[in-house]
């Protein structure tokens, strides 16, 4: 069964972006390389600070919408529950050192 992910990216200013994907490693790479036009490339969202898995796309999209509806304070609590230092959780996946943050 395919796995889907809800994830949050941030930038040096601490802005947050929430997204959903079925290939987290590839999607994060796209954000880091600015291959996705829009909010994440415009605001340099290159640091993966949170993710969770869901077994089906419907559950993942529902969770993404839920998180997007939260105030920033609640999103920060969620991130800190998994990643208190706000490390870039994708750092082990990235082969290009210039793309590593954290």
Q: Which domains does the chain have, with CATH numbers?
A: 4-92 (3.40.1440.10)
Residue closest to 26 by CA, chosen among 100, 93, 85, 82 = 93
pLDDT digits (tens, 9 = 90+) for 42-59: 999 999 999 999 989 999
Edge-first strand listing for the sheet containing 4-10: 16-21, 4-10, 47-54
pLDDT in tens, the chain (102 residues): 569 999 999 999 999 999 999 999 999 999 999 998 899 999 999 999 999 999 899 999 999 999 999 999 999 999 999 999 999 999 887 665 554 454
DSSP for residue 99:
G
DSSP for residue 92:
T
Measured CA to CA, the distance from residue 53 to residue 51 in angstroms comes to: 7
Per-residue tokens: 72: 């920033």
CB-CB contact of 75 with 67 (8 Å): yes
């Amino acid at each position: 069964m395919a796995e889907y992910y809800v994830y949050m990216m941030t930038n040096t200013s601490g802005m947050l972006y929430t997204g959903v994907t079925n290939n987290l490693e590839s999607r994060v790479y796209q954000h880091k390389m600015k291959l996705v036009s829009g909010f994440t490339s415009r605001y340099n969202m290159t640091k993966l600070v949170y993710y969770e898995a869901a077994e089906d796309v419907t559950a993942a999209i529902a969770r993404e919408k839920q998180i997007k509806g939260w105030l920033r304070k609640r999103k920060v609590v969620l991130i800190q529950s998994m990643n208190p230092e706000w490390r870039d959780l994708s750092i082990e996946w990235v082969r290009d050192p210039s793309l590593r943050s954290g």
